[in-house]
Amino acid sequence: MRFRFKPPKMERIKQQVDTIVRFLQPNLPFVNCHMVDYLTEQHWKRFVPVAMQCELRTVSDYLQAKDIFWGQFEPSFDGEERNGGCFPAVREFIKNTRQFRLGGAEARGTALTLDEFMDALSDCRRETRLKMTELMNVKKCHEVEVAAAVVASLCNGMAATQPDTSLEDILVIDAGDGKGYLSSRIALEHGIKVLGVDCNEENTSNAEKRRERLKTKIPKAVQKSNLEEDEHFTNLLQQGSLDTLYRTATQLIDFNTNLIKLAQEYFPGGHHSTFCLCGLHTCGNLGPNCLRLFHENPTIKGICNVGCCYHLMQEQFVVDEFYNPTKVSDNPGYGFPMSKYLQGKSFHLGRNARNLAAESIERACTNRENPSDKLGYRALLQVVLLECGEKKSHQVGRLKCDGFVDYVRRSVRRLGLEQRVTITDDSLQELEERFSAELEQLKVFYLIRQQFAPVVETLILLDRLLYLRECGHDRSFLVQLFEPVVSPRCYALIALK
């Protein structure tokens, strides 16, 4: 099998990494700032470019600015800029930051579209034919339909390129199987055997329960998709073979795991010696460790990995505030940077930057999402705490409330500060009124900072791709699998040995 395109050279990826690092480095204090301190440390004056501060001075300005941020993906955005639209500094800031995200002027040509990747697989391409939306929400259905076809196509490509290997010899291992959404679909639609592996026994139990419920939905789905005459689905209905195609295991796969023995344990009748490792939204360090496992284990010939939860990664060159080692105990090591190139620069992002990278600017703009009022409440609470002499940093966490006064009361109780924070409801209401303009300003500040989200994610993804290239995997690709408004973590690292 020959691919119909040439992947970008490693030097080109390094150049893009350098460009993004140069852009992010001076902005990291802004990206990593705590919204909690917005009012007490005057983030607007400290971080927002002066030209934008001069343009945005009133509540009316803030409301108009939000419309500009929300409209940045509309076709008319660039035209309005050329025709002298209002707030030119705001528009210029948006235009500038967009250059440093995947598909932008400074990171162009690295990520493939789904059609480009699937077309390049030529005769190994598999399509989604089964119309089966049961037991999944809209987001998960979109992800599973696309990812299952990609993994099946990848397995076909492995069978075509590996000597003496047929599709029956390949076993897909789904790392972080969860409820088995992806793994069951690969097995059900494409007839490829899959072992879903998860460290959490409850997840495994739920996946098995879902598999049993799925069996009752198959006949109707096959009929609805007009696939009654298809040989694979005919056999599936007659033999009820989903159990023989998809099995689950509660286990941690590490670099010492013998996958051949594991396959023999769960599929004793097979002779699986070639593996495809997949993962749909592998959290934190699990994504990077899957890439490392692909490189270090000679029996894994292909990988398709979509990461998520970047804030749960551990970085090599910075220790997170409020770091909790128990959250990474199952996936030790560092999630960033992966490439020797970035390691050589001792570059770090910071937890707030990684947290920001998980936000969806496309979804926020499409839905015209206002930042939560609780962001403002928490910033105002910080004013209250300081006025009461409470200088220690506190984590309030998520809580339900009915307005600012209720938020303060619930927060103070949670923090155990009832004796120290004594302030009347009238004083709290007066404080909220006094800072009403700043609270609207805070929402614009949030949207300004959010512009860096896809830039940080781009660097994380390029670092992972560069790691694969450094390891000698020339057939490694960054592919946009999903629609970002539907599924914000939409990029996959895909590689073939």
pLDDT tens series, the chain, 497 aa: 556 667 889 999 999 999 999 999 999 999 999 999 999 999 999 999 999 999 999 999 999 999 999 999 998 887 665 555 789 999 999 999 999 999 999 999 999 999 999 988 888 999 999 988 878 999 999 999 999 999 999 999 999 888 888 999 999 999 999 999 999 999 999 999 999 999 999 999 999 999 999 999 999 999 999 998 898 898 888 887 788 999 999 998 888 889 999 999 999 988 899 999 999 999 999 999 999 999 999 999 999 999 999 999 999 999 876 666 665 556 778 999 999 999 999 999 999 999 999 999 999 999 999 999 999 999 999 999 999 998 877 889 999 999 999 999 999 999 999 999 999 999 999 999 999 999 999 999 999 999 999 999 999 999 999 999 999 999 999 999 999 999 999 999 999 99
What is the chain's alpha carbon radius of gyration, rounded to the nearest angstrom? 25
- pTM, rounded to two decimals: 0.94
Short-list 96, 154, 105, 84, CA closest to 125: 154
Give the β-pairing of 111-113 and 476-480: parallel
Short-list 494, 473, 463, 255, CA closest to 340: 463
Cα distances (Å, whole numbers) of residue 36 to 350, 377, 380, 480: 16, 9, 8, 34
**Which one-letter amino acid corresponds to residue 122?**
S
| Sign (positive or negative) of CA dihedral 191, 179, 268, 216 | negative
Task: Say how many C-beta atoms besides its own lie within 10 A of residue 171's C-beta.
Answer: 24
The pLDDT of residue 318: 92
The pLDDT of residue 471: 98
Short-list 487, 464, 462, 482, CA closest to 107: 462
The pLDDT of residue 113: 94
